[in-house]
Amino acid sequence: MPLDNPWFYVAAIPAVLVAGVSKGGFGGGLGILAVPLMAMTISPLEAAAIMAPLLCAMDIFGLRSYWGTWHRRLTLLMIPGAFAGMAVAALTFGAIGEASLRIFIGGIALFFALHYWLQRVAPLTRLAVPTWLGPIAGALSGFTSFIAHAGGPPVQVFLLAQNLDKTLYVGTTVVFFTVLNYTKLVPYAGLGLFTWPNLATALVLAPLAPVGMWLGFKLHGKVSQELFYKLCYGFLVIVGAKLVADGLGVAI
């Protein structure tokens, strides 16, 4: 039970805070860090289930702050694809063993970290990404969001290339992921992920959700997004490598 594991809190407290700061002020992309970090101490399935209601709570605060400042057309382009991606993930999620899931989540973490560092070489704002790719970005986001709450990077690739104002960009991601997070509660429940221990652990961590969001709102215009992302993605490389090694049974 996560509540009985003190090392879980060493991982979970910063995971929830970073997810809140990211969703509140930096477009939500670093929500990817939460599940891999928590999965270093508990089952990846438990980590995903615990984070789901916390992300939904954060979404409420995000909607209050950014409602009316989101790009409706781009959001509506991505949502149908996101539903399709989540459906595929739901059909395959229960068939993946824990070791394989650690490798998969760790691989996602490493891939998205690599994507971030490559972006330093070829900034997305200079790439031509047509709007018709919105449903594809949504599908990739829906799939990875369902598996590990890691749907941010595909949406970032698409939205950043549209050269949106920073506040409009953050607001669009808030609305999009609110729809995703509340939708996936249904298949999560159907897969039996919302056990009483997982829900109790989420309740204990719940006060951190508004704290992280509040910090994100405050830091939105004060802290360099580039510095914040460099630090977190650097740490994500370490976490991803550890999960892959654990899944392969290799000491690291």
d(CA 178, CA 48) in angstroms, rounded, equals: 16
pTM (2 d.p.): 0.78
d(CA 231, CA 183) in angstroms, rounded, equals: 31
Q: Work out the angle between the directed axes of helices 72-93 and 152-160 (0-180°, nearest 10).
A: 160
Is residue 126 scored above 70 in pLDDT? no
Task: Answer whether 174's CB lies under 8 Å from 67's CB.
Answer: no
Write the DSSP assignment of 210-224 as a string of letters: HHHHHHHHHHTTTS-
Residue range 40-79, pLDDT digits in tens: 888 888 888 999 999 898 888 878 777 788 888 999 999 9
Q: Among 1-15, 81-95, 175-189, which stretch is predicted with the lowest mean pLDDT?
A: 1-15
Question: What pLDDT is recorded for position 183?
Answer: 95
Is residue 125 scored above 60 in pLDDT? no
Question: What pLDDT is recorded for position 5?
Answer: 79
Domain coordinates in residue numbering, the chain: 2-248
